[in-house]
Each structure stands twice: as structure tokens, then as C-alpha cells.
Amino acid sequence: MRTGKIKPFIPRTLPLHLDWESLIPSIVAANRALANFDGALYGMPNAELLLSPLTTQEAVLSSRIEGTQATFGEVLKFEAGEEPEQESRRLDIQEILNYRTALHVAEEELRSRPFNLNLLLKLHNVLLDSVRGRDKGRGRFRTIQNWIGRPGSPIHQAAHIPPEPLSVRPLLDNWEKYYHAERPDQLVQLAMLHGQFELIHPFVDGNGRIGRILIPLFLFERRLLSRPVFYLSAYIEEHKDEYAAGLSALSSKQDVDAWNRWVKFFLQAVAEQAKKNLDVARSIIDLYEKSKAEIIKITHSQYAVPLLDVLFEQPVFSPAQLQRRVGMPSKQMIMSLLGRLRDAGILIVTRESSGRRPQILAFAELVNLCEGHQVFRVAGARRAVRVGARRAIRSRAR
């Protein structure tokens, strides 16, 4: 760790020499795990719909690394119309929503044109829209010196002092060229890109979030994933000390050993997170199929599947939001369907209606699955119905 020095660090340009032979086991493991996860995406009916809650969860986790406190459940409640009590929570939620929006904007851009530095600026502009940091060079590469250290610490106590402003654009030009280069392994290339981006730290604020957004975008553009839904924020948060130490070593040595250790760490992160993502994807598919059988049985309605799709897209909602959806039935029919799902325990009430405040409902099991723990209690009726649905699914399979 660099302390007591105020000279900016200038990283070497890419590509850099690596000990490829030592990386082979990690390369094989990471590529295999990622391919298995992508295979699950191909097998998913309507993957964009089913995995949309995970995009919100990634936005929550990535923003949490930067200090936000809002939870996945709070974001969903906010979108359903429930304002948080604290203003700081509202700002946290807005940062999370901006992160999610930036991911969607980038995905649409990459469907028609390759990644470039203008898109990088566009994503930064979206990320800092109307939130803390909006006055810190939003949508522009920095023209001032920045540094990384404890909040409020002076530059001479910095852990890392990125390149001086005049060096930022030449380094990014080299970084962009390396981004589009053909390299022996694309996951190693991504590890180098992520590490180098954090060393350059091209923005005054928002570098960490932009650096994490770039991971699924690269995998999507290079066709390693059919959808940009692979996120590393959960792993980074769980291993934040090791992550920070790896980047710190790059800024203090820039030698082969430091980069090799960093690449191995990154490949291990990809391998382990891909396995977890695969488990979650399979659980989501299983939940969808079980819920479809249950809802059809409960409602006997032609709207059963469209309603279920809405629940996956927006698992916390008010009835009025459902009524505004295209293809939904009359208000009376919607309230009847929701009542049956509530009685069966599939939906729970998180806020009763009061005056102008509408009732808010939640598809509890999906929220709990995405959070990884019980946020909402699943009613006993839901468990009873689920047993019957499993039997129905097994019967159809026979």
C-alpha cells in the first residue's frame, strides 16, 4: 500500500506479460463454469423476464459496496409506491435504479454498435443522474487529480493515487484498443481490463460501479453470455479485502507476479459466482414452473400465465400498477385474481390500503429467493398448495 507519497501512479499500457502456463487451471475452471451458466440461460423460457429481479439485486449489491444501505426489498417497495422514511434511503434507492438503468442502456447500445468510450461516458452520465456525485464531473472524464483512501483522508495518506488528468485519455485509448483486441483468453482479457480500469480511475466519482458494470457487458458483447446477466458484486463484497489487496498490489508493483495473482483471483471469482448464478437460475426456473401450475389451478383463468409474468417482472406492486399493464383484464377481475392468490399464500400484503395510499402486495417467495434469505414470511397455505403443484408437475412428466 502506498502511503505518504503524492506522486500519481502511471500504469503500463496493455497488453502486459503474464505467466500463462500457471493460469491454465484457473482459465479452464472459469470458462467451464461460465459456459454451464450460459447453457442454463439458453434453456430458460423468457430469460429476460425471469432474471430481471437479479439485475435489480446486482444494482443493490454493487451500490452497497460504495456505501449505500438500501435493500432489495426496499427498492421493490419504492417502485410499488412506498416511499422510504429517510431521505438518505431515497437517495440510495435512486443510485440503485440508476445503476440498473445504465445496465439496460448499455445492453441496448451493444445490440447495434461495439463498445466505445462514448458509451462509457453515457453510462457515467446515467449513473450519476440526480444523485450524490452528480456535480462531480458527471458524464465527463476527470480533469482534476483524485485519490483513493479512507473517507476524508488527505492525498498524502492515499492508498492509491491514479494517473494525473492529462494521462487519463491516452491510457483510456490504449485500454479501449485492448478491449477490442483478440487475446488468447477472453476471461483473462476481462481481468486485465477490469484491473487497469480501476488503476486509471478515469472519473471523479462512480469508478467502482462503472468498473463492475463493464464485466457483464464485455461477456455479452464477446458472446460468452447470451444475456448480460452475470454479476460479480456479490463475490467482490464477500472478498472485498482480497479484492482491494489485489488492486493495491497492481498499483505498487505492476510486475508479472502481481498481475498473475490478480488474474487468478478474478478467474476464481468468475468460476465461483458462475456456479452460484447457475443454482439461482435453476431455482428461478423451478419456482416459475411450480408457480405456473399453482396459479392455473387456483384461478382457472386465461390470465394466469400473463399475471405470473408480471409477478416475476415486478414482485412487489400495487393493484393499480397491475391494472395499467397492457393485456390485463378489468379491475374487478384483477382484484378477484389477486384475492385468490392472496388467500392461497402466493401473495402477501406488505401494506394495507389507507386513504390515498394503495395496498401493496408481494410475491414473497421470489423476493426471498433473490435476497438469499427470508425477507417476507411465506404463508402456510402457500406451502400446502406447493405440495399439490409438485404432484401435478410429476404427474404431467409421467
SS (H, E, C) 128-160: CCCCCCCCCCCCCCCCCCCCECCCCCCHHHCCE
Query: Is 72 found in the same domain as 207?
Result: yes
- Encode 8-46: b = buried (16+ Cβ within 10 Å), e = exposed: bbebeebebebeeeebeebbebbbebbeebbebbeebee
Query: Is 327 found in the same domain as 228?
Result: no
Query: Is 290 found in the same domain as 262?
Result: no
Of 222, 257, 279, the residue that ends a domain is: 279
How far apart are alpha carbons 251 and 230 in whole angstroms? 27
Q: How far is CA 215 from the centre of its chain?
A: 10
Q: Would residue 222 count as lying in a domain?
A: yes
How far apart are alpha carbons 326 and 353 in whole angstroms? 24
Q: What is the pLDDT of residue 396?
A: 37
CA atoms within 13 A on the CB side of 288: 21
Burial of 149 (0-12, 13-18, 19+ CB in 10 A): middle
Q: How far is CA 157 from the centre of its chain?
A: 32
Number of structural domains, the chain?
2
Q: What is the pLDDT of residue 150?
A: 84
How far apart are alpha carbons 361 and 317 in whole angstroms? 6
- What are the counts of helices (DSSP H) followed by strands (DSSP E) for the chain? 17, 3
Peptide bond into 165 cis (omega under 30): no
Q: What is the pLDDT of residue 379?
A: 61
Helix axes 256-299 and 20-42, enclosed angle (nearest 10): 10
Query: Is 358 found in the same domain as 246?
Result: no
How far apart are alpha carbons 56 and 97 in whole angstroms? 8
How far apart are alpha carbons 233 and 2 in whole angstroms? 25
Q: Would residue 6 count as lying in a domain?
A: no
Q: Would residue 225 count as lying in a domain?
A: yes
What are the residues whose beta carbons fall under 8 Å from the beta carbon of 208, sequence distance 6 or more?
62, 65, 66, 198
Residue in 32, 188, 213 with CA at minimum distance from that of residue 109: 213
Q: Is the dihedral of CA 221, 227, 228, 231 positive or negative?
A: negative
Q: What is the pLDDT of residue 49?
A: 82
Query: Is 304 found in the same domain as 275?
Result: no
How far apart are alpha carbons 289 and 386 in whole angstroms? 11
Question: CA dist 57 to 27, 36, 50, 99, 250, Å?
Answer: 27, 21, 13, 11, 30
Which structural domain range is residue 24 located in? Answer: 20-279
Residue in 273, 268, 263, 107 with CA at minimum distance from that of residue 189: 263
What are the residues whose beta carbons fall under 8 Å from the beta carbon of 380, sequence distance 6 or more?
345
What are the residues whose beta carbons fall under 8 Å from the beta carbon of 52, sequence distance 6 or more?
312, 313
The enclosing domain of 306 has a CATH number of 1.10.10.10
Query: Is 303 found in the same domain as 268?
Result: no
Q: What is the pLDDT of residue 355?
A: 84
The enclosing domain of 27 has a CATH number of 1.10.3290.10
Query: Is 326 found in the same domain as 267?
Result: no
Question: CA dist 270 to 11, 17, 180, 234, 264, Å?
Answer: 24, 21, 20, 11, 10
What are the residues whose beta carbons fall under 8 Å from the beta carbon of 73, sequence distance 6 or more?
316, 367, 371, 375, 376
Q: What is the pLDDT of residue 253?
A: 66
Query: Is 346 found in the same domain as 250?
Result: no
Query: Is 121 found in the same domain as 261?
Result: yes
Q: Would residue 12 count as lying in a domain?
A: no
Residue with cell 412428466: 397
Per-residue pLDDT 10s for the chain (398 aa) are: 444 457 899 999 999 999 999 999 999 999 999 999 999 888 787 888 888 888 999 999 999 998 899 999 999 999 999 998 888 899 999 999 999 999 999 999 999 999 999 999 999 999 999 888 788 889 999 999 999 888 888 888 888 899 999 999 999 999 999 999 999 999 999 999 999 999 999 999 999 999 999 999 999 999 999 989 899 999 999 999 999 999 999 987 667 899 999 999 999 999 999 999 999 989 999 999 999 999 999 999 999 999 999 999 999 999 999 999 988 999 999 999 999 999 999 999 999 988 888 999 999 999 999 887 777 777 654 544 444 444 433 443 34
Of 261, 279, 297, the residue that ends a domain is: 279
Of 264, 279, 294, the residue that ends a domain is: 279
Q: Would residue 309 count as lying in a domain?
A: yes
Q: What is the pLDDT of residue 306?
A: 94
Query: Is 190 found in the same domain as 42?
Result: yes
